[in-house]
Structure 1
């Protein structure tokens, strides 16, 4: 694989095109943070019902359960994604709110001081929180949609990402 100014080589592929874990041994420890977001879209009737009921379903408190599941997923990302390094997570926060009548935004922010970033942890946390919302609410409808999972922000490594775009 050739490198040019606009394209970097894939870091999880070695010179023989075999998969590998990135060697972070010579990297400097820095404060790293990542924010990921996902949208859960409910049918209008389901959204109204959930909002009226304080976001509780037959299985219990939807948002609290999603936060717990998402946090567990953040801490176990290295067990799910083959080349992620195990990290001692220093901070994991969730913000969950309706951004329209029927769309729930779930944001997961993860921070660590380490030699590698936490993008995958934030993305995993947001996605598992969304899956948990789906699981908690599927008795109401199977038309719930999980959409638009994305990295919103990342700092502390080679690249600075804001609003999903590399800016440095």
Structure 2
């Protein structure tokens, strides 16, 4: 594993100095999900939720979260993102309504955007929960994980077993 880079000489947390790191195009894709009941699914699809257009608001929340990740995660660097895209896909089966969320983030910089993609997915799912909780507080926010990332010194990563 090598030495820990997020500790100073006193053993206390620090933000890593990325001054000397090469600037490259960096991308990351993360996924997550939220399981809702049939009433919520139908309300979201019909645009009849009391708080408004759930997916549009959640999408904006995801983009905003990606842009503000350094305010949520203490050791993340503030980044100038060049793109953030949130994509939704419903999985419907007998008695199950799962909204799959995918966030793709891109920048040209000295550090990666994995945390931005993961934060975007998380905020998107939390916003869906917030906008629908009056109907059912039993929604389940599912696994959140990195699908792939490109660029940087550590090279590319692609999850071998897709979820």
Fold equivalence (TM over 0.5): yes
Matched, 1:21 2:15: yes
2:91 to 89, 96, 99: 99
Match of 2:149 in 1: 154
Q: Is the 8 A contact 2:66 2:116 kept in 1?
A: yes
Match of 1:87 in 2: 79
Distance 1:71 1:44, change over 3 A: same
1:125 to 114, 120, 143: 120
Moved over 3 A (4+): 48-51
> Over aligned residue pairs, what C-alpha RMSD do you find?
1.7
Q: Is the 8 A contact 2:44 2:53 kept in 1?
A: no
Alpha-carbon distance in structure 2 between the residues aligned to 1:8 and 1:15: 15
Match of 2:29 in 1: 35
Give the structure-1-normalised TM-score.
Answer: 0.86
Match of 1:75 in 2: 67
Alpha-carbon distance in structure 1 between the residues aligned to 2:151 and 2:49: 39
- In structure 1, the gaps of 5 or more residues are 1-6
Q: Is the 8 A contact 1:153 1:164 kept in 2?
A: no
SS of aligned partner of 1:35: strand
Alpha-carbon distance in structure 2 between the residues aligned to 1:9 and 1:144: 41
